[in-house]
């Protein structure tokens, strides 16, 4: 166990959100912004957060040219296009090294015994629709980070679907969600929603 860090726990959560040039099937698909937050298992404590990191494409204008009008307008409104053209950001390989090093501080080594006796099998990625999108982006563009991620995810979107069908009162008491299409804001919304569900069942 990484004794130097009292927050090491195999059940911590890695929250991630990506802004990209479009959907995965688009030509030239790649991430252009990422934000990561590591929390304790109930997401009541933030252990580390990256803030907004621009992922710099090899060819900025080509990446922008791959966007359809909807995506281009969205990233223009958030200022992400301006940040790209100003030269802000780091190549994906550098982002991968930075994030994998930072995230790894909060988890045991793969196979290491955790406090409950179970072997650590990888960190769980959390967020909205992470199983259909974000985990795939990690695997495709961030191999070092992907090495210690589990195949399982904590998908808040799936939790919302369960609440809507089985516990509608819990779902209906969730404050309205907002999105400004920035990675940092969208993670905060996912964490807020997860906390709402955790608190609803606290003590049961």
Catalytic residues: 151
Q: Tokens 């907002």 correspond to what residue? A: 178
Report the candidate in 119, 157, 118 with the shortest Cα–Cα distance to residue 135. 157
CA-angle at 101, arms to 62 and 81, nearest 5°: 25
> What's the farthest any 2 CA atoms get from each other in the chain?
54
Q: Is 190 exposed, middle or buried (0-12, 13-18, 19+ CB in 10 A)?
A: buried
The residues pairing with 125 across neighbouring beta strands, listed in sequence order, are 14, 153
């Amino acid at each position: 166990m990484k004794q130097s860090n009292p927050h090491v726990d195999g059940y911590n959560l890695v929250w991630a959100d990506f802004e990209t040039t479009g959907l995965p099937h688009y030509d030239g698909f790649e991430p252009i912004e990422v934000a990561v937050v590591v929390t304790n298992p109930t997401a009541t404590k933030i252990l580390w957060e990256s803030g907004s990191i621009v992922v710099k494409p090899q060819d900025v204008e080509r990446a922008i040219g791959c966007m359809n009008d909807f995506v281009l307008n969205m990233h223009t409104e958030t200022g992400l296009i301006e940040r790209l053209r100003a030269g802000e950001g780091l190549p994906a390989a550098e982002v991968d090294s930075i994030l994998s090093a930072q995230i790894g501080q909060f988890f045991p080594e793969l196979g290491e015994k955790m406090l409950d006796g179970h072997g650590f099998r990888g960190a769980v990625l959390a967020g909205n629709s992470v199983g259909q999108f974000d985990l795939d982006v990690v695997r495709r563009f961030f191999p070092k980070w992907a090495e210690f991620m589990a195949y399982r995810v904590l998908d808040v979107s799936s939790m919302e679907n369960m609440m809507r069908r089985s516990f509608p009162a819990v779902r209906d008491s969730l404050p309205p969600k907002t999105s400004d299409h920035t990675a940092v804001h969208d993670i905060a919304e996912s964490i807020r929603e997860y906390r709402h569900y955790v608190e609803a069942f606290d003590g049961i």
